[in-house]
Amino acid sequence: MYPEFAVGQKVFFAEFTRSWTVRAVSTSGRFVAFTSTMFGKLEYTVADLTLGVRGTASSWGVSFTTDEDCVAALAAFERGAAGIVDGSITSQVSHRNWVWLRYAAVQRDERTAAMLQELREITCQGTAGTAQWRT
């Protein structure tokens, strides 16, 4: 149902000139944790491929910096999406600061370039077809 991201894969989002690295993928493939370094600071973002959005977690003060953090966080996202409250960080990417998933037209990682059209199609289907992709 979802494209298969691989840990270590690089993705360029349209609004950034730097790449984001896949750090973890949820068991269903719906959620993907990415990190990127800017000015020596590690940042993260989580993509929800079903909704076609990405952003931080909705829990205050949550940060995913280690591989273990990313795996645990995505498991919590999966539990939240399944309606399991106990042990869930959140059921969604933070609604206060999410953005639509927009991918750069040129992807330097061959794996990402090969799945770019599929990623765009999934994003367009997100949230009842209201998401839009742009290059």
Query: What is the domain partition of the chain in residue ranges?
Result: 10-129
Q: For residue 116, is pLDDT > 60?
A: yes
In terms of DSSP H, where are the helices of the chain?
67-81, 110-129
Instruction: Please state the rounded mean pLDDT for residues 16-22.
Output: 93
- Counting residues of the chain whose pLDDT is more than 90, the rounded percentage is 36
Task: Please indicate whether residue 30 or residue 59 has the higher confidence score (pLDDT).
Answer: 30
Q: For residue 135, what pLDDT is reported?
A: 37
Strand pairing class (10-11; 41-48): unpaired
Centre a 10 Å sphere on the Cβ of residue 75 and count the other Cβ atoms it contains: 17
40 contacts: CB under 8 Å, gap ≥ 6:
none
Chain centroid, CA 82 distance in Å? 18
- Burial group, residue 78, by CB count within 10 angstroms (0-12, 13-18, 19+): middle
Mean pLDDT comparison of 28-42, 78-92, 105-119, highest-scoring range: 105-119
Distance, in Å, from the CA atom of 5 to the CA atom of 97, rounded to the nearest integer, reads 23
Instruction: Please state the rounded mean pLDDT for residues 84-98.
Output: 62
Centre a 10 Å sphere on the Cβ of residue 63 and count the other Cβ atoms it contains: 14
Q: Enter the pTM of the model.
A: 0.84
